[in-house]
Structure 1
């Protein structure tokens, strides 16, 4: 059995785990990142990529923005469409801030490259990973790849391994409270080789279901259609997808999305999920291991960055100042932000998607809400403040 020691063992090489490792490095704190998947899988997995103003600030302050500054697509607002008419919500005018479209896989690529450049200890394809003695005072992580065992002793473990990871399940039954909501629809998402044909994201409310027009780069667009949770992706030919997008996204002024070869398509379920607390003994949960938000509010990766920022600051206070107060406050501080993001994501989702509503009450309520948001500066400002990101450095 190979043995290692470090101050913080990090499970998961997604945005949360990699960012935490980098922030700890900046504080002079050692870490080892363990990932069951291959490096190529982590670098190539396509996920959402809307970065809040606060996340962009964090990346720049951490010295990770060189490619982001060059390739990120800055957006000054969003458009909300109702009955084929677009209404612009100007983040820049309402808040003085904006968001940046930069794919999650690009963030992961930047972080992996930087951690290796800084001689970081990243271990991919670790096989089975298990957590032990997480109550303290010195937990350990074991890996087993084809009978080859590794053991890593550490002071703390950060569970950054996603919703389906092993970290949350290492906590004894009953120690965590789960809050969850599953939505009666999903998103059929595509990546298309088509240059963006508009400057802002378009969130479209339509009688046939919600649709979203977004982009990933100057040559790739990302589009979504509301569909059933059990939708059979094989029943959606490319022609059927583009026809439905033309119907739902079509505007009264004649605008239609630019079309091109579909590079990828998938169906993503919609759920809200939070566990409390985010700490058990020496284990701290962060990112999707602790919470999931519906993608309508573009909060997933941004919440993960906030979690690990607070955790890195708490660990710095522990090692540098011999103070554990921030570690004790980690869960409550993160949860205050998480629940505000959950509220906003639920609100955006419930406002824009069509629900099965035989009485028609919810549909009429949605239309009234959309009218209010698109005509009231106060309502638009509330949307803008939440979308660009609530203050991180508090």
Structure 2
């Protein structure tokens, strides 16, 4: 097989990149080691930044999102039963959309296949070679047979555990990692949300979050030990912990059947650079942020917008400058988002080894400042709705927004 861009991974990054390239007349093949049914059912993040929403609409894959997504113009910070609303739209003029990542994936898959795009499911990439030459090769297996996909460029969008990052020479990149001493126990419940906007809760027993998925589905999280076994958390224990942490006078947390639950460790991770030769990493293959800031999917979208623009300039005009600066451009945003996600995580979670409560008092001071200062609330709001995606338009130092 031969294509222009070989894409490993059919998550939001790989599928959106394929879609953006197709709009520029650039061919691609997407390889996904899981089945279509698995990928479309995989529950992940659900908060879309302002620019993520806009790019899906502007490129023709946002119709269902506009019908079914939930527009939010604020969020609540809740501390010891007292809530403060952060008015995101009032402070920034921008908004967020709650629309499950798996729904974005469904829309992108349907659109790519309807347009004649090639997305190969249950096609496991086993090796990537030739990234220092003019033609790279992705070897993969499908239906028990081995295949080769030759391409000009490889986009590694296969997540933290994929093969793409491992295809980079050891000397060509560095990994920076921070593991947190806690995780999130996330549940999806068949019950109408108890809130119209997300609620982030600080409690001495640990962090809790009430998110939404639809008018019929709620998504909730509690801070837990990352080493916990999910069997240690029967449904009644989860609801009891949520009721305790999120309690507020005059407010009721609705309970219903839990249809999905899992424990996710929390990690910060960045690969520098995000490219070598003909291989470009995007999304979780290049970086992971703690989920407190709701940035994982949005950061992947920002990556592929920059990468697609660079590939379009290369194929159309032979320009290499945008591709050469892909890592430099993407990493500026990555580290700002790491900062925000780390800040939110440190402000809202209880940490072990704080016997005299020093760190908790610092957290309370942070929360008092954010909820009492318009300037501090604006800073949170600007990050939460999303920083603009930018690229260098030419050799001049000025920046333009995509």
TM-score range, shorter chain: over 0.9
Q: How does 1:204-353 map to 2 (within 5 A)?
A: 204-251=201-248, 253-353=249-349
2:88 match: 91
1:106 match: 103
Q: For residue 256 of structure 1, report the CA deviation from its aligned partner.
A: 2.4
Q: Distance in 2 between matches of 1:222 and 1:323?
A: 45
| Alpha-carbon RMSD | 0.9
Q: For residue 382 of structure 1, report the CA deviation from its aligned partner.
A: 0.1
Q: For residue 232 of structure 1, report the CA deviation from its aligned partner.
A: 1.5
Structure 2, unaligned runs of 5 or more: 391-400
Kindly report structure 1 stretches of 4+ aligned residues shifted beyond 6 Å.
Answer: none
Greater mean alpha carbon deviation, residues 232-241 or residues 100-109? 232-241
Q: Distance in 1 between matches of 2:346 and 2:299?
A: 20
Q: For residue 147 of structure 1, report the CA deviation from its aligned partner.
A: 4.7
2:363 is aligned with 1:366: yes
Q: Distance in 2 between matches of 1:205 and 1:73?
A: 24
1:59 match: 56
Structure 1, unaligned runs of 5 or more: none
User: For the Cα contact (< 8 Å) 1:10–1:33, is it kept in 2?
Assistant: yes
Residue by residue over 1:252-277, the C-alpha shift from the partner in whole angstroms, topping out at 9 and shown as x without a partner, is x2312211000011100000000000
1:391 match: 388
Report the secondary structure of 1:131's partner residue: strand
Distance 1:146 1:64, change over 3 A: closer
2:355 is aligned with 1:355: no
User: For the Cα contact (< 8 Å) 1:249–1:256, is it kept in 2?
Assistant: no
Q: For residue 359 of structure 1, report the CA deviation from its aligned partner.
A: 2.6
Q: Distance in 1 between matches of 2:11 and 2:21?
A: 15
1:36 match: 33
Question: What's the TM-score once normalised by structure 1's chain length?
Answer: 0.98
Greater mean alpha carbon deviation, residues 155-164 or residues 137-146? 137-146
1:179 match: 176
Q: For residue 145 of structure 1, report the CA deviation from its aligned partner.
A: 3.5
Instruction: Tell me the matched-pair count.
Output: 390
Q: Distance in 1 between matches of 2:236 and 2:226?
A: 21
Q: For residue 146 of structure 1, report the CA deviation from its aligned partner.
A: 5.8
Q: How does 1:70-89 map to 2 (within 5 A)?
A: 70-89=67-86
Question: What's the TM-score once normalised by structure 2's chain length?
Answer: 0.96
Q: Distance in 2 between matches of 1:195 and 1:147?
A: 44
1:144 match: 141
Q: For residue 144 of structure 1, report the CA deviation from its aligned partner.
A: 2.3
